[in-house]
Amino acid sequence: MITIIDYGAGNIGSVQRACAEVGVRTVVVDTPADIQKAERIIFPGVGAAPPAMDTLKQKGSGAALKQSFAAGVPILGICIGAQVILDSSEEGKTPCLGLIPGKTVRFKLQDKSLKIPHMGWNAVKTVQPHPLLEGVGKEDEFYFVHSYYPQPDNRGNIYAVTDYGGEFCSALGYKNLFAVQFHPEKSGRPGLQMLERFVKWDGRVPSNSTDNRSR
């Protein structure tokens, strides 16, 4: 059973349907009490950081998510859910959850022929092994739609990068938290396979993975 946190940030239905496709039951919750019961969490999102953070604060679900993280519950963040786990976002200068040090920044592209948002299919290059990236091939592409991206302070938190006028972080993680800027629920076979791996993940990362979180 996967608990999907609803904080008014869109595409809950798409995530539910993709989970159903890989044979996993889901429950959508929005209260701290329900989040605390979760044994596995997807923290999805589409839209903007400021209203997402407002809702998380208002409902107390941000604090509940932090508790689940501390308790070792496997968590998968998607899109906005990969951005608000950092300390802050440039989007509306928003303070965020601070689960991983760093901030979410807007694309600053030198090549003026490249458009913002970065919208469409792009490859994801693993820079550090992670159970959720196992089997992602060089040719596999994922669906992106975003103008901002996560920028962790520590390289040890970056697991994959994607090239769009330069490389940006497209997958990040720390301990039992893993998050992706793309949408696995809309990325066909490679995306569904990532969800399947998440269902089996025990929340551990390989021991050679750098653990340089200071606090």
Interaction of residue 92 with other proteins, rule CB under 8 A: no
Interaction of residue 191 with other proteins, rule CB under 8 A: yes
Minimum Å distance from CB 211 to other proteins?
Answer: 32
**Residue number, 164 or 174, with CB nearest to other proteins:** 164
Options 8-16, 35-43, 64-72, 98-106: segment touching other proteins (CB under 8 A): 8-16
Question: What is the size of the binding site for other proteins (CB under 8 A)?
Answer: 36
Torsion on CA atoms 161, 51, 178, 163, rounded to nearest 10: -10
Q: Report residue 134 as tokens.
A: 């196992």
143, 156, 196, 209: which one binds other proteins (CB under 8 A): 143
118 belongs to the catalytic site: no
27, 42 contact by CB (below 8 A): no
147, 48 contact by CB (below 8 A): no
4, 158, 190, 197: which one binds other proteins (CB under 8 A): 190
Minimum Å distance from CB 17 to other proteins?
Answer: 5
Residues binding other proteins (CB under 8 A): 10-11, 13-14, 17-18, 20-21, 46-47, 114-123, 137, 139-141, 143, 145, 163-164, 185-192
